[in-house]
Structure 1
Amino acid sequence: MQAPRAALAAPLRFEERTVVNLCQAPHSIAEVGAALRVPVGVATVIVSDLAAAGHVTVRAAHDLSTAAIERIRDLVRAL
């Protein structure tokens, strides 16, 4: 997800402001949760509220091909 620069001027609560600041560059929900020190489910709710208000844009995750997943599996096994 990513936040537009204009969202920095919005009247936001502490957690929301932190997300908007963090998301000036693209970040995942997991990264947002880690930054806020909250579970991913809580981060999802905060981000959903921000997205509904137009303060962040959420993109769908890229699906990996089966070949890519198998390659990752093989590399992890090789460790």
Structure 2
Amino acid sequence: MMLIFAHDSITFDARMSMRTTVTIEDALYERALEMADPGMDKADLFREAIKTFVRVQAAKRLAALGGTQPNMAEVPRQRQEPVA
């Protein structure tokens, strides 16, 4: 049996979000619910899953670029070094 999840359009960060239907395996959905905070909204669960997917894919693409531009200028870092 497959779980079908749909939700109405919601506003998030003052932008209209997309309404969609998702078909996933029951076992995968149940596992996600076990990992989620108690009472977590289903829409929030899927939103976090999509954000994580985007972050991981962006990191993979960035890693794949490693060494392809050896003459590129040093990119300034956003993170500051810890103060001892």
Choose between structure 1 and 2 for higher RCO, CA contacts under 8 A separated by at least 6 residues. Answer: 1
More strand by share: 2
More helix by share: 1
Q: TM-score, length-normalised on structure 1?
A: 0.27
Q: TM-score, length-normalised on structure 2?
A: 0.26
